[in-house]
Structure 1
Amino acid sequence: MHQRPRGRYADFQEPYEPAHAARPPNSAPFLPTQRPAVPPRSEHPGPYDFEPAPRRRGKGKRILISVLVILLVVAAGTYFWADSKLRKEVDLSKVIDRPAAGEGTNYLIVGSDSRKGMSAARRKSLHTGGSAEAGQRTDSMMILHVGSHGPTLISLPRDSNVTIPEFRGSASGRIRPAMGANKLNASYAFDGPQLLVRTVEYNTGLHIDHYAEIGFTGFADIVDAMGGVEMDLDKGFTDKWSGADFKAGKQTLNGTQALAYVRTRHAFTGSDLDRTKNQQKFLSALASQVATPGTLLDPFTLYPVMSAGLDTLVVDKDMNPYLLGKMFFAMKDVNSGEGRSMNMPVSGSVGGNLQWDRPKVKQLVDELKNDAPVTVTSDR
């Protein structure tokens, strides 16, 4: 049985006349120039009547464009929402006598022991001690350098013996005299983030580009919003001061446990230096678990995590969500082995405070300023 030609131009092909078909006598054969009339399209199309392919492709393009527009609107809305929640309270332009900026970007990341707004019950559960009105200090301080040779995370022990130099008062705006030798975290206690940045820059010669600080409550809330952070502990330890009570091995830490883990110092012989290593491990693990498709593409996880952090995060006036994201991904790289972490090189102690190894510190800072591979090691 003769099959009707298929395709878009089936109606315009030359009719096929089988050899055995009978034709009336003296009938003229079809000539190539003759075209049969195109029948009108039926209201009920048959198996060979279908929409042309270009129409289907056009519809697919419209759907794709609509999806992209929606994603762009959501992304832009999220960006501006996050930017509006950032507490841009630190004005680095007021820091005096700053070293010249080098290559790469340097973040000063600070964990404060602020209890502001915490109830007595919350302070008890988090083992923070003190009162809601207690003065703030820095529990942890790190410099994160992001450059072309992978990120470098450097912990600054809070008991470091440093010089607090002449500075501009954050409230008065007046120049204040130098305070001389002191603990590094005392600079924050005296005049807050701006004096801390001034002290770090003065004692290292490294320009700080951005500042990020989070308190006890925000830290614990981020971890809880994540559903906990998985850690693999080399050894177990306890500390009644921080509330730490851990066994060795893999485990998921909730917000209270995570805070105890990063604050513990009395359980270690190396005290502050051992604690800074734990802080590096935990923050890198946290960043690694936040910066995953499972979190970033799940709004029911992403928005609670962002909200918990942004509500208590204090940053400099030039910080934005893009730079924060860049900071988190760099910390993730540290955890994955694409970067490195270390303590500020220490040579000994002075009056119970840790003394930095000045030749090593100078070499480290020169490498960071030139965005060269870091070759300096810390022995402790």
Structure 2
Amino acid sequence: MVLLVLVAGRIWMLVDDVSSRLHRVDALSGAADTPGETWLIVGSDARDAAVTDDTEGARSDSIMLLHKAPNGQASLTTLPRDTYVEIPGYGEDKINAAYSYEGPALTVRTVEKLTGLTVDHYVEVGMNGVAQLVDAVGGISVCLDYDVDDADSGLVWDTSRGTCQDVDGTKALAYSRMRKSDPTGDIGRGLRQRAVISAVVSKAMNVGTLLNPFRQDSLVDAGTQALTVDRQATVPSLARMVMAFRSASHDGLTGAPPIESLDYEPGGIGAAVLLKDTTAPGFFEALRNGTLTKASFNHS
């Protein structure tokens, strides 16, 4: 999950020595810079034990590409974890297999090959950090308009209690992870992940949180415990990421690339998400150039 992006802003204001408290990892490829600024934000269960699926080893539970183009346009693109891509050195596979094979560095190289962008900064969030952040702001309100009893994510949702409900960190995490009970799979999950992000950002920035030292400290503690960044990342770069995220959300430039199939069967890896050959390259070109519109994103 991407939730800890908001913590960067709070850390910048509250803690002088936060940089030394962040987890660091070798992630960047060293490829030549491309215009603009690009963050790869990965939700991972590498430090958690709660998630199980068919991928061996640590997994990237969610992958989001946040880009601020030279003209100032910011966009937040969800890359479904089952997206069928070419993984350098391994051939074609689901995109989240890159993390399982070689961790952050290969994930970065895979996304760079797909998008034509050089990743400037890498941010990884341990999935338990989602629950910690939601609890740190005192819970959030999220919405879902159908009943769910999903064993894989642990989400139980009863619409007789309302389509919008207040949830704690544990339920927010299940809400963010649920996909097998969603008819749109990863697409619906991406929408819920962004809904949780927006709710946490809103709650963290309200007056009650800003004037509550206990809440401020809880946010900082949750962030530094769960956040892993590349070795070159600084607190100002994370603060710029917060601003880019808020801009993308405000302008509605969020979503998945154009998708051909949610149930593509290439053989040997199960069902995968197939991007549209005719439009996905154009999508990433528009992303790089800062010419995306709301209509550019998947609407299947």
Which TM-score applies when normalising by structure 1? Answer: 0.67
Q: How much does 1:377 deviate?
A: 2.8
1:356 matches 2:278:
no
Q: Is 1:319 aligned to 2:229, yes or no?
A: no
Q: Hey, what does 2:7 align to over in structure 1?
A: none
1:184 pairs with one of 75, 78, 95: 95
Q: Find out whether 1:377 has 2:291 as its counterpart.
A: no
Alpha-carbon deviation of 1:149? 5.0
1:360–1:79 distance in 2 versus 1, CA, 3 Å? farther
Cα distance in 2, alignment partners of residues 309 and 158 from structure 1: 23
Count of residue pairs the alignment pairs up: 277
Matched with 1:57 is: none
- 1:197-245 CA-to-partner distances (Å, cap 9, x unmatched) read 0001012212211111111222211111111122233333221221101
After TM superposition, the structure 1 = structure 2 runs for residues 112-127 of structure 1, keeping only pairs within 5 Å, are 112-116=44-48
Does residue 1:81 correspond to 2:1, yes or no?
A: no
CA-to-aligned-CA distance 1:50-102 (integer Å, 9 cap, x gap): xxxxxxxxxxxxxxxxxxxxxxxxx988342222211121341xx26x36412
> Is the contact made by 1:155 and 1:280 (CA closer than 8 Å) also made in structure 2?
no
Post-superposition shift, 1:350? 3.8
Q: Distance in 1 between matches of 2:12 and 2:173?
A: 33
Q: Aligned letter for 2:62? A: S
Given candidates 186, 190, 193, the residue that maps to 1:276 is 190
CA distance in 1, matches of 2:186, 2:12: 42
Alignment of 1:261-340 (within 5 A): 261-335=175-249, 337-340=250-253
Paired residue secondary structure (2:181): coil
Q: Does 1:237 align with 2:148?
A: yes
**What is the distance in 1 between the residues matched to 2:46 and 2:191?**
22
SS in 1 for 2:98: helix
In the TM superposition, structure 1's runs of 4+ consecutive aligned residues that sit over 4 Å from their partners are: 147-150
1:76, 1:278 → 2: CA distance? Answer: 27
Shift of 1:191: 0.5
Deviates more, 1:286-295 or 1:234-243: 286-295
Q: Which amino acid aligns with 1:142?
A: M
2:26 to 90, 115, 125: 90
> Which residue is equivalent to 1:136?
58
Partner of 1:107: 39
TM-score (norm 2): 0.83
Aligned with residue 207 of structure 1, among 101, 106, 118: 118
Out of 90, 109, 120, which is 1:198 matched to? 109
Paired position in structure 1 for 2:4 = none
Q: Is the CA contact (8 Å cut-off) linking 1:109 and 1:212 kept in structure 2?
A: yes
Q: 1:188/1:312 Cα in 2 relative to 1: closer, same or farther (>3 Å)? A: same
Distance 1:91 1:159 in 2: 21
Structure number with higher relative contact order (C-alpha < 8 Å, ≥ 6 residues apart)? 2
Give the whole-Å Cα distance in 1 for the aligned partners of 2:13 and 2:272.
48
Instruction: Give the percent of matched residue pairs that are identical in Structure 1 and Structure 2.
Output: 33
- C-alpha deviations, 1:316-339, integer Å up to 9, x for none? 11212222233234334444x334
Contact 1:90 1:211 in 2 (8 A): no
Is residue 366 of structure 1 aligned with residue 285 of structure 2?
A: yes
After TM superposition, give the deviation of residue 376 of structure 1 in Å. Answer: 1.9
Task: Let me know the Cα RMSD of the aligned residues.
Answer: 2.4
Residue 284 of structure 1: how far off its partner (Å): 2.5
Contact kept, 8 Å, 1:151 with 1:339, in 2: the verdict is no
Distance in 2, matches of 1:266 and 1:316, equals: 32
Classify the secondary structure of the residue corresponding to 2:233: coil
Aligned match of 2:5 = none
Which residue is equivalent to 1:20? none
Q: Which residue of 2 aligns with 1:146?
A: 68
Q: Aligned partner of 2:131: which letter? A: A
Partners of 1:333 and 1:253 in 2: CA distance: 26
After superposition, the Cα gap between the structure-2 partners of 1:208 and 1:296, relative to the gap in structure 1 and judged at 3 Å, is farther
The whole-number CA distance in structure 1 between the counterparts of 2:277 and 2:201 is: 31
For the 8 Å contact 1:264–1:275, the answer to whether it is kept is yes
The range that moved more, 347-356 or 152-161, is 347-356
Deviations along 1:172-192, whole A, 9 cap, x unmatched? xxxxxx211111000000100
Change (3 A) 1:115 1:373: closer
Structure 1 gaps of 5+ residues are: 1-74, 117-122, 166-177
Aligned counterparts of 1:185 and 1:319: Cα–Cα separation in 2: 23
Q: Is the 8 Å Cα contact of residues 284 and 334 (structure 1) preserved in structure 2?
A: no
The 1-side partners of 2:14 and 2:149 are apart by: 41
